[in-house]
Amino acid sequence: MAGRVIVVGSLNMDLVVRCERAPVGGETLAGRSIAFAPGGKGANQAVAAARLGAPTAMAGRVGDDDFGRALRASLREARVDDGCVRTVPSATGVALVVVDARGENRILVVPGANGELGAADAGPLLRDARGDVVLLQLEIPLAAVRAVAGAARRAGAFVLLNAAPALAEARELAGLVDHLVVNESEAAALCEWEIDSPAAERAAVETLAARGFAAVTLTRGERGALHRDGDGLLEAAAPRVAVVDSTAAGDAFVGGLAAARVRGGSARDGLALAIAAGSLAVTKEGAQPSLPALAEARSLARSIAIAAPRDS
């Protein structure tokens, strides 16, 4: 294996409310249940990569509270090195996740300690990062993301950015990022136009590549993903699965890309493992509890169809 996955990002405790449907403005509905589960895009992606067999370390911040201690325990259970996760006086980040009967989710995040994360938190992990994959998201300050990406590139690491949640300013990171991963709404924020058709999806991928992102992957839920790099355009299908909860499906996907990358896998290898991991994640409840193990993901990955689009 070439190196590690180094995740610099958020840790949140998820408060997951299940309901028949989400309420609209001014409406009160009865929920079916509430549960607490470790989450946060950074922590989810770290656990996903570790469960998929990659040596993984994380830098982040949690509060000196029960949520923070539970998040650390979850990382350690997944064998993620949490030596650069700092405990600070601020409260641990919290996400309210509303999941409807179709498995679709709506999420409201209170950043807490995540909002104080700085590039120095990741410093010890970046001192010897040549050959590593440094994985970033946007639930921490953009200034920290920019500084970590620059330091990672100087250290000889491969920088993988999941530009989520959607933030138009993330386009400024193009020169510092080796691989960009976005869904349709995140791509729309970066491109500043609506993505409402397959043609618009392809145009978004080409636009982001032209703006300086060396490789771009656009996730499309049950329709799989599009990927553009120096070798051209690939389209990957997603298998049909029974959707229980879509929370952390994107994080499973990104963790799969990172895990495949540190093994030296090709773009096709990465897409297959990523789609398999994301597809398996939606079949179970919760964020980190839904993230699959390597054997299960590899088995499903063998069935993923990946090819250049016929008219590309």
Structure tokens belonging to residue 199: 């043609």
What is the distance in angstroms between the CA of the first residue and the CA of the last residue of the chain? 33
| 215: nearest Cα among 278, 276, 260 | 260
Catalytic option among 81, 251, 269, 311: 251
CA distance 256 to 49: 6
- Give me 301's structure tokens: 């990955």
Strand duo 158-162 + 133-136: pairing: parallel
Render the burial of 227-266: b for 16+ CB within 10 Å, e for the rest.
Answer: bbbeeebbbbbbeeeeebbbbbbbbbbbbbbbbbbbbebe
Whole-angstrom distance, CA of residue 157 vs CA of residue 263: 14
Determine the Cα angle at 290 with ends 16 and 46, to 5°: 100
| C-alpha closest to that of 212 among 158, 255, 265, 170 | 170
229 is catalytic: no
Residue indicated by tokens 């080409």 = 206
Cα torsion for 76, 77, 78, 79, to the nearest 10°? Answer: 50
Contact 297, 52 (CB under 8 A): yes
Burial class of residue 226 in the structure, from the number of CB atoms within 10 Å of its CB (0-12 exposed, 13-18 middle, 19+ buried):
buried
Q: How many residues does the chain have?
A: 312
Helix, strand, coil percent values for the chain (each to nearest 5): 40, 25, 35
Just list the catalytic residues: 251
